[in-house]
Amino acid sequence: MALYQTSSSINPWTKGLLDGVNAFDVELSRLQEDGLILLAKDVPATYTTLNILLQDVPAGDDYFIVCFNSSNSIIYSVSSRFTIATSSSGQSNPKPDPSVPTVTASGPPNPLNGFASTLGPSANSGNSLTSPNTKVLGLGGIVVLSAALLGGVMTLW
């Protein structure tokens, strides 16, 4: 078991003030295998730290943390390569930051598994029923349906 703490020294990313990124997703990626562990979805962009607890994740020296948007596949940050050691290696774990949640990932990488945790609604996903995109699509559907009905009435008349 290991606790990995993302911080500016591990995964440097300077977020812009008005860049439109309100939330992001975090994954643990491994190069030598089909290694992908989806850790956290919709992490608020106000977080500067995220506690990650790893249980039964295989040891290796080819891991990366990736911060991205899973809705549109934009990658914001990729960490430097780092090592996950076995719990018997005697390495100490950093103390968790009590002001942010801890995401727990367990088992070997599996790209078919979903996110281990969802931390909040994403304001930039466009999937909300009240988002402007949904309203435009709804209005467009009403216009198309009205035009089809009007065409049918005119054909019958």
* Residue 32 near residue 83, CB atoms below 8 Å: no
Nearest to 45 by CA among 75, 79, 11, 16: 16
For residues 11 and 62, give the distance between their C-alpha atoms in angstroms, rounded to a whole number: 15
76 & 137 share domain: no
116, 133: one domain: no
Same domain for 85 and 142?
A: no
67 and 140 inside one domain: no
Residue-number span of the structural domain to which 135 is assigned: 126-157
Q: 8 versus 82: which is more confidently predicted?
A: 82
Give me the chain's average pLDDT, please: 75
Is the Cβ–Cβ distance between 15 and 45 less than 8 Å?
yes
116 in Cβ contact with 37 (< 8 Å): yes
pLDDT per residue over 21-63, tens digit each?
A: 888 899 988 887 767 899 989 888 888 788 888 888 888 888 8
Tell me what pLDDT residue 140 has. Answer: 64
**How many independent structural domains does the chain possess?**
2
